[in-house]
Chain A
Amino acid sequence: MSLTSRHASRFRPVEVTAEGADVQARVRHLLAGLRPGEAHLLDALHRVQEEMGYVPPQAIPLLATHFQTTPAAIYGVISFYSEIRTEPPPKVEVQWCSGPACLLKGGRNIRAALEAVLGCAMNSSTPDGAIGLRLVQCDGTCHLAPLVRVGGRYIGPLTVAEVVRLARRLKEGGQLS
């Protein structure tokens, strides 16, 4: 897959390794049925992310060609939306709710404890990619505030001591409960 000549000079080419070629084949398959000039770009990004866990750099030139725009424009969109990831997600992700109900019930303390125990800052992962911490927005599950989500499970209302124990279990590769 090559870029159109007009855009090639503006975009740092992504090295097409064997793995990269595989990514491109998968992305091409996912884009079937999506058209430019319609409300389909976000859908495309969601499809790629659902399949691969994130939007890999190899997907960007393909998306650009498919949607008849520049790689820069695609990258611009990707970087604008907080739910689109450009890095592979960690194996275990602790999602910390940043909403107001959680805040009022001690959410900041929970965040501080999580960062201290897991040894990584918000929106980052441990160097081995085993565990990560991610800030998420309120989705209206405020009756469980303050809460965290792990693997799609909601855990709350939580005390800081409970979070410390939970984070230690996860760090040791253990189960949720």
Chain B
Amino acid sequence: MTALDAYRPLRQAAEERWRVLAEPSIPVFRVAVATCSKAAGAGETLAAIREELARRGQEALVLEVGCPGLCFADPVVDVHLPGYPRVLYGPVRSQDVPRLLEAILGPQKALPELALGMIPEEGIPPAAYQGTSMGNLPLLQETDWMRLQVRRLMANVGIIEPANAEHYIARGGYEALARALDMTPEEVIKEVLDAGLWGRGGAAFPTGRKWDFLRQARVTPKYLICNADEGDPGSFVNRNLLEGDPHLIIEGMAIAAWATGATRGYIYIRDEYPLAVQRMQEAIEDARRKGLLGQGILGSPLELELEVVRGAGSYVCGEETGLIASIEGMRGMPKIRPPYPAQAGVFGMPTNVNNVESYANVPLILRHGASWYASVGTERNKGTKMFSLSGNIRRAGVLEVPLGTPLRDVILVAGGGVPDGRRLKAVQPGGPLSGVVPASRIMARDGLPLEPEPFREMGMLMGSGGLVVMDESTCVVDLAIYFEWFAEDESCGRCTTCFAGTRRLLEILRRIAQGGGRPQDVELMQLLASTMRYSNCAHGQAAPTVIMSLLGLFREELDAHLLGRRCPARVCKGLVRYEIVEQAPELAEAAQVCPTGAVVREDGRYRIEQALCIKCNACREVAPAAVQVVDAF
């Protein structure tokens, strides 16, 4: 009996039970319950929907699903009425629930003012809903947020109950594993290589080749590690998958186990993602119950045990050797390579470390084949990539686009551009160690395709998926201080070049921001940067590179700080002063709100006591016309 034969009855049973949701006879509500939507009140919305349904005596199915990526519209709710296409609503706050239910359960079938878009379904002709409010709704896929997107990795996110193996199977899940088990490990690796999959964690190393190193290792047991320590601030694509479709990652790891001979695996999830830890643990248990983990998986000789390890707050644990040290219960300090993990990894055993998204791509390749997989993307880079959009942008959230999609389009079309009439200044891809791309490069003719090569040409990295958008109100020195603070704070302390170098750089930058810049500072920083490149791992090597390229790109702005003691964006607190320019009535409130009592009234006139002022901008918020930020020097 082949593994596929063992899989088929599972699939049939799952599809049978899924029909209740695919062709429902009662309304189905899918509430996105993820870290992002819960922060915006999804828990309250969920409770309100249950309560309102009970009050109305309305029978319905209410599912907690992952976040479909539209964080800007959180909390989002997907409503599927019997005989009608699905409609995504957002933001649906708890107080909106009564009128939402009133509208959709009535003759209008939809509430257009809260609708984000409709998700048409085969078998339901538009005629079925003409004459209702649904007839005028836009198609979700045609909205600006969605139209660049191709959802393969995220195909189940927001649709299935994340930890439910049966839901995942009904949507075609674990078929790839069954297919892989009927192939030899070499054939599986060849398929992954043919698809052109490279590591999504940032380094872009071919996944199949990494697997082959482990396959060739002679020592057992062999280990797999899933790096879910998504530490780059502003990156949250892995979290979306961990919380929204954990079985996709488990299946990818099971296929990797077959291809490499590994029998144990760890999924290392950062401490900031408690919901991801919970969902992954539930998913592993459910997979085990279904015989998809453990021994003799789908009747094959494959054996795999997975365990979740919860991190404890350390950025360098995202570096693979640091991560291994952390799993072993030590300080998460990166080691010197070689030996590489494939030779001596966790507990000294051969180990393969891949990013969440790398594993998640594998089931797609094995299920649909390398040629299907390579049907989107560019000549050099195949498949899709998830990105998280945040910062000075109209729409923040998670999206999945074909590799090579211009960054310009992602920002202007999907993100809706920079708000408040400001102009784009730069974008930080990946994390604080990847680099900063200036607007001029993004607005170039090619729009900066999202694939590794154009970033490498600039001496940067595309990174793991974070895209932090900055507008002209950003000060580059302030930004450099942030990056260097982060690098200093998270340095593991092994290399003097790194822990002392980042500290020195930070001191110099802070001095510049305080107005104490010296002409020779640039040279000094360059000297430090070139010394820091001798650090052991990427943390110490990249930290100064980013600063230097940033300051090189915006040299004029740096010089204004350094030589003119002026912050053009008026951000650096040591270079600005708050002044009252007009005796407006709002100043009474400003005086009241000022946290240090620096807005004082004397002889009927308000003024700012400079010795007390902490430049927090509270007064200017309440009295914008009366208070101005001026150059301090």
Would A164 and B390 be within 8 Å (CB), given that A80-B331, A142-B236 are in contact?
Answer: no
Q: How far is the CA of A98 from the CA of B486 in the complex (A)?
A: 9
Query: Do A161 and B618 touch (CB < 8 A)?
Result: yes
* Whole-angstrom distance between the Cβ of A33 and the nearest chain B Cβ: 13
Would A140 and B35 be within 8 Å (CB), given that A101-B391, A113-B595 are in contact?
Answer: yes
Query: Do A139 and B390 touch (CB < 8 A)?
Result: no
Q: Does B235 contact A (CB under 8 A)?
A: yes
Q: Does B177 contact A (CB under 8 A)?
A: no
Query: Do A142 and B234 touch (CB < 8 A)?
Result: yes
Would A143 and B271 be within 8 Å (CB), given that A39-B327, A164-B618 are in contact?
Answer: no
Q: Does A67 contact B (CB under 8 A)?
A: yes
Partner of A41, one of B71, B329, B474: B329
Q: How far is the CA of A102 from the CA of B396 in the complex (A)?
A: 13
* Whole-angstrom distance between the Cβ of A40 and the nearest chain B Cβ: 7
Q: How far is the CA of A108 from the CA of B570 in the complex (A)?
A: 13
* Residues A135-177 near B (CB distance < 8 A): 136-145, 147, 154, 159-161, 163-165, 167
Q: Does A83 contact B (CB under 8 A)?
A: yes
Q: Does B39 contact A (CB under 8 A)?
A: yes
Number of interface residues of B (CB under 8 A): 65
Would A143 and B36 be within 8 Å (CB), given that A77-B331, A105-B392 are in contact?
Answer: yes
Query: Do B40 and A104 touch (CB < 8 A)?
Result: no
Q: How far is the CA of A147 from the CA of B390 in the complex (A)?
A: 13
Query: Do A67 and B329 touch (CB < 8 A)?
Result: yes
Residues from chain B with Cβ under 8 Å of A112 in the complex: 614-616
* Whole-angstrom distance between the Cβ of B136 and the nearest chain A Cβ: 27
Query: Do B314 and A161 touch (CB < 8 A)?
Result: no
Q: Does A88 contact B (CB under 8 A)?
A: no
Q: Does B387 contact A (CB under 8 A)?
A: no
Query: Do B390 and A100 touch (CB < 8 A)?
Result: yes
What residue of chain B has the Cβ atom nearest to residue A77's Cβ? B331
Query: Do A103 and B309 touch (CB < 8 A)?
Result: no
Q: Which of A110, A140, A141, A144: most chain B CB closer than 10 A?
A: A140
Query: Do A116 and B595 touch (CB < 8 A)?
Result: yes
What residue of chain B has the Cβ atom nearest to residue A140's Cβ? B236
Would A141 and B39 be within 8 Å (CB), given that A81-B332, A101-B396 are in contact?
Answer: yes
Residues from chain B with Cβ under 8 Å of A113 in the complex: 595, 614, 616, 618
Query: Do B328 and A39 touch (CB < 8 A)?
Result: yes
Residues from chain B with Cβ under 8 Å of A144 in the complex: 39-40
Q: How far is the CA of A144 from the CA of B24 in the complex (A)?
A: 35
* Whole-angstrom distance between the Cβ of A150 and the nearest chain B Cβ: 12
Would A100 and B468 be within 8 Å (CB), given that A77-B331, A109-B617, A117-B595 are in contact?
Answer: yes
Residues from chain B with Cβ under 8 Å of A141 in the complex: 35-36, 39-40, 71
Residues from chain B with Cβ under 8 Å of A45 in the complex: 312
Query: Do B71 and A143 touch (CB < 8 A)?
Result: yes
Query: Do B428 and A100 touch (CB < 8 A)?
Result: yes
Residues from chain A with Cβ under 8 Å of B621 in the complex: 159-161
Query: Interface 1/0s, chain B 320-364, versus A by CB < 8 A?
Result: 000000111111110000000000001100000000000000000
Q: Does A61 contact B (CB under 8 A)?
A: no
Partner of A84, one of B312, B593, B617: B312
Q: Does B3 contact A (CB under 8 A)?
A: no
* Whole-angstrom distance between the Cβ of B514 and the nearest chain A Cβ: 14
> Which B residues lie at the A interface, using CB under 8 A?
35-36, 39-40, 71-72, 74, 231, 233-236, 239, 266, 271-273, 307, 309-315, 326-333, 346-347, 388, 390-392, 396-397, 428, 432, 468, 470-471, 473-474, 478-479, 482, 486, 492, 573, 593-596, 614-618, 621-622
9 tightest A-B CB contacts, nearest first: A140-B236, A41-B329, A83-B313, A142-B390, A81-B312, A154-B39, A82-B313, A138-B233, A116-B595
